[in-house]
Amino acid sequence: MTKPKIAPSILAADFNNLGRDIQMINESEADFIHCDVMDGVFVPNISFGIPIVEHVKKIAKKPLDVHLMIVNPENYIEAFAEAGASWLTVHYETCLHLHRTVNQIRENGMKASVCLNPHTPVRVLEDIITELDMVLLMSVNPGFGGQEFIHHTYKKVKQLKKLILESKSECLIEVDGGVNYDTGKKLVEAGADVLVAGSFVFGSENPKEIIRNLRNI
């Protein structure tokens, strides 16, 4: 079983000491820094936007994995590229012209990722899976950290892995929401490549150890 990549979500970081927490990720075995951008329209919460991503990029030594939980994401692709995103995730549910949006992301020099909400079936990506660098499966309803893991996600990971293999796509599978040692192990066994962890990392006494243990799960 291949070791998963780990993407700590700074939504759960201490924003009074954000620089300290970013430095912790820099020094850890994490692979990405996950940035959740929420607009209060698509999801019932507002998090942060382009200025924070720019600030994080100035001190980050890991690639920024930016997840846009916003309506009309196509209007902000260039801005997030300039802010320093390496990976940009848009929601299937917010993109009227998904293929065009994915091409826009790539044209701006970023890796393209599409996210599916818990209720959205994997099959909607059949016609675009070979164009993607990553698919993010939400294992909680987007908008808030610290939610309970939705167990149907294991089945979705297996379905997505099957689709990727059958289409000969090279895209990664990322999962976000309720990740801990137990769910993380089962997700990797099902085929997940990247685990996003927020509360589990930043709510611990030793975040670096949590990150290391997740990678070696």
Q: What values do phi and psi take at 210, rounded to 5?
A: -60, -45
DSSP 91: E
Distance CA 140, CA 23 (A): 28
Parallel, antiparallel, or unpaired: how do β-strands 33-38 and 5-8 relate? unpaired
Distance CA 31, CA 34 (A): 10
Helix/strand/coil for 134:
strand
Question: What residues are paired with 66 via a beta bridge?
Answer: 35, 88
Q: What values do phi and psi take at 66, rounded to 5?
A: -100, 125
Question: Which residues are known to be catalytic?
Answer: 36, 176
Contacts of 42 (CB under 8 A, 6+ apart): 69, 70, 71, 91, 93, 94, 142
